[in-house]
Structures are given as structure tokens and as C-alpha cells.
Chains A and B, each alone.
Chain A
Amino acid sequence: MSTFNQSRQNFIRLLFLLAFLVLLVRLFFLQLTSKQYDILALDNAVSKNVIFPDRGIIFDRKGRSILENTLTYDLMINPTQLKGIDTAGLCKILNIDREEFRERVVAAILRNGRYRPSVFESSLPIELFVQLQENIFRFDPGFFLQERPIRSYPYKAAAHILGYVGEVDSNILKKTNYYYQIGDYMGLSGLERFYENILMGQRGVRYLLKDNKNRIVGPYEKGTFDSVAIAGRNLTTYIDIDVQVLAERLLKNKLGAIVAIEPQTGGIIAMASGPTYDPNLLAGSLRRSNFSSMLRDTARPLFNRAIKGQYPPGSTIKPMGALIALDEGVITPEYGISCNGAYFGCRRPIRCTHETPGHASNLRLALANSCNSYFSHIYRLAVDNPRLDGTTNGYLKWKNYMNSFGMGVRLGVDLPSEDRGLIADTSFYNRLYNRYWNSCTNVFLGIGQGEMQATPLQMANMMCIIANKGYYYTPHFVSSIEEETSRDTILHPYQVKHQVTSIPGSIYDIVQLGMQDVIESGTGRVARIEGIAVAGKTGTAENYGIIQGRREKLKDHSWFVCFAPRENPKIAVAVIVENAGFGATWAGPMAGLIMEKYLKDTLSVERWKEVERIESQEIILPIVKYKRNRLDSLRRSKND
């Protein structure tokens, strides 16, 4: 019987062999042919930890740091290790009740899971931090303190220039081809954004092993693949933080902008936009809520009016008109007209503020008296230049001049999102007037009204051109990068000299003297500085706004542009205060204070009183305040 089924042993052997063969084949495919499991395993077990280097520091022209790094502390929670912790004690220190404590624990678990630590209270105020640090042992290991570097602005100034950092959003992720990762911080505006690559430094990566609960258990492969973080490089700027702070004080309670540039280099000494804000508000943990409340403010504090505000330049454009006419050769400095209170060259008379005969009998006088008739006339002379064959060509030539002066184009300042202002193209007039237009149609351009808008930065740059007698360097903030190498090309555009006219220096002298007369004896006497020759020009720009659906004429913008000292210009300034009336009333004195502070480095007691007088004056259109108040009360009623 036992030998009967002998052959069956071989079948059983075969069965075993086959089964093992199946296993082997499967293993072969699993282990040798598919790479995906390797990747999945790495995904499972290795987390790429990016180490952020310290961002670079930004210094002003005197080497004072105006944007640096500081540490803030977060109270962190380990949700799994809360047993036996003095909860009541912690609640007392944090001044919260048990109910809120429970809610926050639940929120932390929901946010980050049970096994990973999450933030319980972020950016602790210093008193709270000290108190917690003394007591933290009582809450160990459920709670611990963790430091976190944030950006700090020691002068609480230059918010619009320096910008802020924030978490990258999905747009940036895509645009940078996923160089950044979710949760990364990067410069989002201002110099932080423009010089992101330099300030950021080089990120380091640490590969860490994690377990099935996503807890870190140690370095991966003993750190062989890790790379070290390289700190960001520092930037030195042309900013004089004292002047900057002063400019911001002057613009307090006003809408407007101040730009001060060093003409020889194009370096920006100060750039203020009013209203401004404390940049530290956008650095801490309250960034989001602060940001959104500022975003809702109808006075638009986040809006950098110095490079994005677009205003009709008014009379401040007149020196430019003179330069164009001179360069074109249609007038000489001796050229004069007789004006008795209005310009009648076109159908509608253009009013002039002066009626005394002879106030425009030469260029210098016309500039000093800001004669509307004179500059309307020379605008038409330039555009109707017989050598240029027709108004269209004449206007195009004029536009080219303006563009080369930096008007109507982006200057290329080292800040993101600069606006270009407006110098209308011929096509605009062709469309508007069905091709029938001449120099009279847009004669207002000669006095800086009409289809013309300029940013305060452009106006300050225009002053540089006159101060430099025919050239400018693109305005910029950064003078040098720490450890600059030949690969850093970001500053190269700012080393190019832009020669814009071919007028000899002697004729520039006449324009400059005319502007000096404005200060000494003309409309700009408010900007006089003891012992320094200032050249300037006031501007009072008509403007319109839409209020409750109707286009209404608003109070004039107050402009002032100037440079000093005239013989050897060190600073060129442009000031605009929105809806503040005559250029001499507000913008002029502010420009004077800025120049004096920069050139003399101090202000006398009386001058400080003047600063306080200006600072305390509120100039905001009722409509802006009305809207702001209404928003506030809306929000309040919503919260109630």
C-alpha cells in the first residue's frame, strides 16, 4: 500500500517548487524592476528639511542697520505629552481660561496632528516670554519655547522701501519652478523682493529620517547628503535714515510723497509715502491681520505713492519745457514774450498768475515767475518746429524728449512694481480728435496739465537732470552688495550714465539761475535755506476725482521740486502733498526741511518747531476720511 502512491511525492515536490518560483518571480518584479518603491520608501521615511540662513542686513549710507534680524519666541505644544502638566498654572500665565486652553489644544492637533509639535502661542511679548522661560520646566515636556528669526526694522521707518517678507503662495511656487516650497518665506515687496536672491543667501538642506508617525528620529545616512546654509549678504544703501524718518514725519496725516536723490550717483537718500506704517507690523505673527486691515484703509497706506502715485506735474514741468525748447533751438535764453495775464495763442485763453508786463521777458524771469503764457508758447514752438514737418512729428519729438528724461516710462528703480506715469502717444490724440489736432489741442502739456502724469520719483529724477546739467543715473537705493562678485549683475544698470540733452552748461546755468530766483524772489521763498543756494520750482496741479459717480475738480495738489546747493548739487528733492493747495504752502517748506537736514545734518530749534507744525497738520480730503469712517463703523457693527 505504501508504495502504491510513490509517484505522488514528485507531484508534491513540483508543487512546492512552483509555488516558490511564483514567489521568486514576484519578488524579482517587486525588487529589481520597479523603481517606484524606492521613491515611495524615501517619501515615507526621509523628510527634506530646509534650513533658512539669516537674511542679509540692510544698512543706510552711514552704516546704520535699518533692516536686521531678531529672534522671537513661540510657545510650542506637544499634544501627546500633556498628562500631568500644571494646566491651571499655564492658563494663569497666558491669561486664558480652561475652555480656551482646550480649544487651542484641539486646534493644534487638527493643524499638525497629535504627534508633531505645533505653535500654541506665537511671537510672545517680552514680558510673557521672560515669565514663561522661568516657569517652562513646570510644563515640560508638553510645552516648550522655540525661537524663530524674524525681520525687524529698528527705526520703524522706510516701510515702503524695505518691504516685507511673507510666505510664498502657489503662484510664486509655479513661477520659480518650485525652487521655493510651501511654507518658505521670501521677500514680497520693496528691497526685500528686489534683492531677494542676495538677501536670501543659500538655503541648506538636511535630510532627516522620520518614523511612521512623522516624528523625526535622526539624520539620514549620517548627513552625507546635507548641504550647509550660507547666510544672505548685506546691502548698503544711499538712504540717510534720519532724512527718511524726517520725511515720514512731515507726511504724517497727509497723502503724498517725498523723494530725495543724490544727483551725481542717482542714489536715493529718502523716499517716503504718506500715509505710511510701522514695517514691524508686517514682520510678526500679526502680519496677516495687520495687512488686511491696512489693505482696507481707504487712505491706502500700503500704496507707495513715490513710485506708484501718478499726478499731473503742473508747473514743475516747466524747466523741462525750457530744456526741450533750448535743445531744439527754437528759443534762446534771451527769448521773451509779453504776457498780461493770459495766453491767447489758442482758442481758449490760458490764465497766468502774473499780470505785470515784463515778467516773462526772458527765460530766467519766466521761470522765476512761472509764467503760464511763456511755457504754453514755447511748448507750441517746440512742437510746431518748422524743421520737423508737422505737429505729429513735432509732438513725437517732444514725447521722445520727455521719455528720455524718464517721464512716461519706468525709470527702473530697484523696487518692484514701479509705475510709468503718462505721456500720451499720438495715437491717443488721433483717436480722441479723429486725427484733427494740433499744438493747441494739447497746449496744456506745456504747463504740466492735460494728458500727462508723473510719479514723484520721476520729478525728483528730473531735478537731477537739471542739477547735473544734462545727464542722470537711474535712481536706486543700493550702493553696494557685501562681497560683490562679477556674477552680481543686479547693480549694473545703475552704473550707466544717461546723457539726455546736448545743451552747453552755460545755458543750464540760466535755467538753474531761474530756478534759484524762484527760491530767492519767486514763488518758492518758503524753501530757502540759510547760507545755501537752492534752485527749485513750485507746482500747483489741478486734478479731478470721481466722487459718488461724478467727476469733480478737487483741491490742487501741492508740488515742490528743487535741488541744492545750486553750484554743486548734493540733493534733489521732489515733494507732493495731495490736495493741499499751492505748491508753496506745504510742499515747499517740507522740501526745504529735507534739504537742510541732509546738507547741514541738523536742524535748529525753530526749524524743528516748523517740523512739528507741519507734522500736526492733517491734510486728507473729507471724502477719504468719510469712506474710512464708514468702513470702520461697518466693521464694528459686524463684530458686535
Chain B
Amino acid sequence: MVLLYMVLVIMGIASIFATTYRDEAVIKGFLSLNTDYSRQLIYFILCLVIGSVILLTDSKFFTATANLFYGFGIVLLLLVFPFHTDVKGTESIIRFSGFQLQPAELCKLFANLALAKYLSIPDMNFKKLRAQVIAAAIVLFPALMAIMQSETGLALVYFSFFLVMYREGMPSAILLIAFSLALLAVLTLLINKDVLAVLLTVVAALSINELKLQIKRNRRLLYTIIVIWIVAVGFQRFAVPYIFSNVLKPYQVQRIYATVGKDMEVDESTMSEEDIKKMEDRKKASTYNVKQSKIAIGSGGFLGKGLMKGTQTRYDFVPEQRTDFIFCTIGEGFGFMGSIVFLGLYLFLLLRIITMAERQRSLFSRAYAYGVASVLFFHIFINIGMTIGIVPVIGIPLPFMSYGGTSLVTFTAMLFILIRLDADRQMILR
């Protein structure tokens, strides 16, 4: 497990090196601390220290202090509001003496701990609605803060904890409904809304027809179908447009449309010329990233061009490639084979974590482990998905790989706490 972690981080440093390395002397570059790869190396060393400290800590410490940490995280998040510095459009970063901290990132760990702690309360009955609401609140409160700090991407990550809740007994209906709504939202984007409404009506009518016999016996089924139909049509006709125009920022809407390959539908007559121009610029920018990233990965071919030989990643064609688009380097440098190996490593890591989770005797450890797996999965899928253009551009890092101190420390801490808990799995049930 630790080995896997090391491999990934070192691959990350190598990739950052490959994209940012210019012609300076390599060793000097690593020692100078001015280069991104040397800084990432420093973070790595720091992480190893933190990891060691965690491994030396008693596992009871984490269960005991989970709520404390959560509180601490919330305080940090609140501190952001008065003390943040603007970095690339987010308002989520605190900077002190040259060191940047993104509490929303760190809070994933704390929320995970707190959720696990809450779920493992001995007389917990997760079937009760009240318990479910509290669990959701633990998770969604930091997400709300993140949204308020213009970090929608990170906020979305918190939704991955619902996977943990699902494992711990949340009714599958909730997950089902969530999936259905998501599917409906995507369909709304892809299909003309009137056509979709007709389609939904037809489906409803067909199912009523199909289930005639049952309906005769059970009137409630009919009502259910009608309610579902009303909700679905209402969702696609009103809720989605409302979210798009009032909740999301225009650039986010544009990214989403860019992914499905459509233009944003706007009423240009109500906009000033300046706004239209701004919109055009944004559109170009939002598609440019993904286009360049696809070009980089696509040109990798079967075996890739070799690390440091990628023409696209070496010369900054892909914006943000040290951080969110780091996968381009792998894709271009090592091609399809490299990507398979790379994805394989991640998948192995995820499945391994689940296996670890299932062998835990303590509910806390298991819930925590699922939390780690969910968060990692969400990050990996969204990040790689956006570099190859199947997910809208959401600025979240690739675990262990992307350049950035906070994210590396967070993921390291998450993983090492898990390892620590796992080491003590033979101890009594908590």
C-alpha cells in the first residue's frame, strides 16, 4: 500500500518535472526550491514525515479527536472568509508567510473522520431519518462553505461521502433518485426540452399501460407513476434551467455545455455587446483547455512519445497541466499502454482500500476507509474524465499526482490514517 503510494507520488513528481523542466541543471533544479518539481519533492518529504508521525500515533487518537478535528476544519473554513487571498479566481486559499493553505481541501479529511465517528456511535440507527439528515449535514456543511468560496469542484467532492452512507445503510432509493436526477439533467442538456417532455410522458403512459393489472389491485402505484412523471418533467423543464441561470456561474455552465458539445443557449438580445464578447472569450477558453488536453493525450498513440518527449506537454500547450491536467503528461508520454497501467494502479489502490475496509472490525474504520475510497474515486474519475473530455472541467486535482501541497498532504494523511487504523484492526471493536 505504501509502495503503491510512493510509486504514484514519484510518478507525479516525474510528470511535473517533465512538463516544467526547461534546460537548467537537473540536480540544481531539484535543490533550488524554485522549480515546481523541487517544491513538490519537498512536499513529498513533508508528507513522509507526516505519514510516519501518523503511523506512530495510536489509532485511538483518531477516533477520539475526530470531532475535534472537524471543528478545527470548520474554524479554518470560516477563517478563510476574512483572510483569503485571491488565487486564480478562487477565494478559498489562506496564505501565511509564503505558504498556501486551502482549508476546503484539508476539510475532506476532517469530514471523513467526523462522518465515520458519527456513524460508529454505538446505538446508532442509520435507518432513522434524523440520523441520515445529521450525517448529510456533517458532509454538506463544508461543501456549502466551499461553494461560498467559489470552489464548486471541491464542494462536489463532498457528495462522494454519500457512497459511504450508502454502504452503511442509507436507503438505496436515495442513491437511485440521485442517479435518476443526474441522468435526467444530462438528458436535458442533450435533448431538446420539449422532445424530452414528450418522451417522459410516453414512458409514463407506457408504464401505466403495462402495469394495468397491478394498478387495478393497487391504486397507489398509479399515483406514484404520476408523481414521478410530474417531478421528472418539472425537473427538466424548470429546475435545470433555474440551476443553470441562477445557481451556477456562467463559466461553469459553459464548461458543461462544452463537454456535451453544444453552445450555451442564451438570449443574446438581453445582453450588452460587452457581455456577448466576454461570453465568446469564455467559450473559447473553456473549450481550449479540453481541446489541447485531448490533442496531447490523443497524440500519445499506443506507446506514447516517451517522458520528456511529448511536444504538447513539454511546451505548455495545455494550460494548468502541472495541476489539474497532469494526466496529459502520462497520456502523451506513455500512450495507451501507459494510461492502462496508470489507471490500473489507481483501480488497484481503490479496490485494495475497499478490501481493507471490509476486513475492519470497527465500524469507524470501515466507514473511514470507504470515505477514503470514495473521495479518491471521485477525484480520479472527474479529473481524468475532464482531461479526455467526458466530464465538464471541474478544477480538482488528481490524487498524489497533481502539483499542490495541500492536496498532497491531505491525501497522504487520509491514506496513512487508514493504514494506521488497518494495522490495529485486530483490536477490540470500537
Cβ of B343 under 8 Å from chain A: yes
Determine whether the beta carbon of B354 is less than 8 Å from that of A12. Answer: yes
State whether the Cβ of B394 lies closer than 8 Å to any Cβ in chain A: no
A9 contacts the other chain (Cβ, under 8 Å)? yes
A31 and B300: CB pair below 8 A?
A: yes
Measured between alpha carbons, how far is A166 from B332 in the docked complex, in Å? 42
Complex Cα spacing A41 to B314, Å: 12
- Count residues of chain A with CB under 8 A from any CB of chain B: 40
Contact B315 A30 (CB under 8 A): no
In the complex, whether B424 has a CB less than 8 A from a CB of chain A is no
* A44 x B312 contact (CB < 8 A): yes
B354 touches A46 (CB 8 A): no
Q: Which of B124, B295, B336, B388 contacts A40 (CB 8 A)?
A: B295
Report the interface size class on chain B: 35 or more
Q: How far is the CA of A286 from the CA of B302 in the complex (A)?
A: 53
Contacting B331 at CB < 8 Å: which of A5, A20, A31?
Answer: A31
Say whether B294 faces chain A, with CB atoms less than 8 Å apart.
Answer: yes
In the complex, how many angstroms separate the beta carbon of B294 from the nearest chain A beta carbon? 6
- Chain B contacts with A in 352-402, Cβ cutoff 8 A: 354, 357-358, 363, 366, 370, 373, 377, 381, 384-385, 388-390
A335 on the B face (CB < 8 A)? no
Which one of A27, A36, A42, A210 lies within 8 Å of B339 (CB-CB)?
A: A27
Interface positions, chain A 509-534, Cβ under 8 Å from B, are none
Q: How far is the CB of B380 from chain A (nearest CB, A)?
A: 8
Residues of B136-170 at the interface with A, using a CB-CB cut-off of 8 Å, are 163, 166-169
With A16-B351, A24-B343 already in contact, the answer to whether A45 and B311 are too (CB < 8 A) is yes
Partner of A9, one of B317, B354, B390: B354
A5 to B357, CA, bound (A): 13
Nearest chain-A residue to B297 (Cβ)?
A: A30
A contact residues around B370 at 8 Å (CB): 12
**How far, in Å, is B164 (CB) from chain A's closest CB?**
9
Cβ contact within 8 Å between B315 and A22: no
CB contacts (< 8 Å) of B169 on chain A: these are: 1, 4-5
In the complex, chain A residues whose CB is within 8 Å of the CB of B299: 37-38, 40-42
- Report yes or no: A20 in contact with B347, Cβ–Cβ below 8 A: yes
User: Please, how many angstroms separate the alpha-carbon atoms of A210 and B317 in the complex?
Assistant: 10
B29 contacts the other chain (CB 8 A): no
Of A1, A17, A45, the residue contacting B347 (CB under 8 A) is A17
For B298, list chain A residues within 8 Å (CB). Answer: 30-31, 34, 36-38, 40-41
Known: A20-B343, A32-B336, A38-B299. A212 touches B311 (CB 8 A): no
Is A19 part of the binding interface, using a Cβ–Cβ cutoff of 8 Å?
yes
Q: Does chain B have a CB within 8 A of A433?
A: no
Residues of A within 8 A of B340 (CB): 24, 27
Chain B residue numbers with a CB within 8 Å of A217 are: 315
A28 at the interface (CB under 8 A from B): yes
Judge whether B71 is part of the interface by a CB distance below 8 angstroms: no
Contact between chains at A27 and B336 (CB < 8 Å): yes
B339 and A31: CB pair below 8 A?
yes
In whole angstroms, how far apart are the Cα atoms of A210 and B311 in the complex?
Answer: 9
Residues B388 and A27 in contact, CB atoms below 8 Å apart:
yes
Task: Tell me if B301 is interfacial: C-beta within 8 Å of chain A.
Answer: yes
Query: Which of B297, B299, B347, B366 neighbours the largest number of chain A CB atoms within 10 Å of its CB?
Result: B299
Task: Let me know if A212 and B336 touch, CB within 8 A.
Answer: no
User: B residues bordering A, Cβ < 8 Å?
Assistant: 124, 163, 166-169, 292, 294-302, 311-312, 315-317, 331-332, 335-336, 339-340, 343, 346-347, 350-351, 354, 357-358, 363, 366, 370, 373, 377, 381, 384-385, 388-390
- Residue numbers of A with Cβ under 8 A of B are 1-2, 4-6, 8-9, 12-13, 15-17, 19-20, 22-24, 26-28, 30-32, 34, 36-38, 40-42, 44-46, 209-213, 217, 220
**7 further A-B pairs in the complex, CB-CB below 8 A; given A16-B373, A17-B347, A31-B302:** A1-B169, A8-B166, A13-B354, A16-B377, A23-B385, A26-B390, A40-B298
8 CB-based A-B contacts, threshold 8 Å: A12-B370, A20-B343, A20-B347, A27-B339, A31-B335, A37-B295, A42-B311, A212-B316
